[in-house]
Homo-oligomer: A and B are copies of this chain.
Amino acid sequence: MPKAIFQTIYQDLKIKIEEQQYPFQQLLPSENALVEHYHCSRNTIRRAISMLAEEGYVQSMHGIGVRVIYQPVRQTSFTIGGIESFQESACRNGLTASTRVVQFTELVSDEHIAEKTGFPIGSELYYIQRVRYLNGKALIFDINMFLKACVPGLTPEIAAHSIYDYIENTLGMTIVTSKRIMTVERITQADEKYLDLNDFNCMAVVSGYTYNADGLMFEYTQSRHRPDYFCFQDTATRKQGYPK
């Protein structure tokens, strides 16, 4: 439930842009006009607009106005620069999702794991392997490692449902920042064993490092997607003011 004013305005403008009340290539009402409409200060309006600009919804033009550059997306896509769980993504794309836990153990981080995941050597971890089904097809293979101290009481039953739901709603922990690296890697024996592969010899791999509200990295995830069901969206803005 958004209580902050800028959040409310941000979401209201976002919906109006998505519904094309403010169509592609048109200008938004000027900041001063929005100030009158929402009965708030110009700073608050500017904060909402800058959030929309970051997501590629609008683009401000000095002396002119704020242009809408949002266009409806083309196909089912998996992430848009936010942090979404598998469940949330599937739901948003209108797909039937299910999960099978194929491994659930505990282990202690050694040198090799520390190098790959960033967990200090000696950390006690949960190690989980899951197969994700979309509309009945085995398409995604997930490997998760959680800091045991941060996610106590994890069970295979929770893993089969939604770990994020457990973390946020049951444990009350807040997930804040996630660093992700996308690569394309050759298929492994586990991919072949668990997934419905169509003679692809590569997988789209998203490696994620997730931090909680204390700034502590508590999760490493490797998510291996069958190429034809993978799509990753991103909006970049060119930094001004480079040296020279």
Contacts and interface: CB of A to CB of B under 8 A. Distances in A.
A231 B198 CA distance: 24
A188 interface: no
Contacts of A232: 181-183, 232
Nearest to A77: B181
Interface stretch (A2-10, A100-108, A135-143, A153-161): A2-10
A4 B197 CA distance: 52
Nearest to A64: B214
A234 B182 contact: yes
B234 A176 contact: no
Given A184-B204, A231-B181, A241 B2 contact: yes
A237 B83 contact: yes
Interface string A51-81: 0011010010100000111010000010101
A241 B7 contact: yes
Interface in A201-244: 201-204, 211, 213-215, 217, 225, 227-228, 230-244
Contacts of A177: 53, 56, 59, 69, 235-238
Contacts of A243: 1-2
Contacts of A184: 184, 202-204, 225, 227-228, 230
Contacts of A237: 82-83, 176-178
Interface residues of A, number: 63
A73 to B, nearest CB: 9
Interface string A76-101: 01010111000000000000000000
A201 to B, nearest CB: 5
B180 A61 contact: no
A135 to B, nearest CB: 19
A118 interface: yes
A68 B25 CA distance: 39
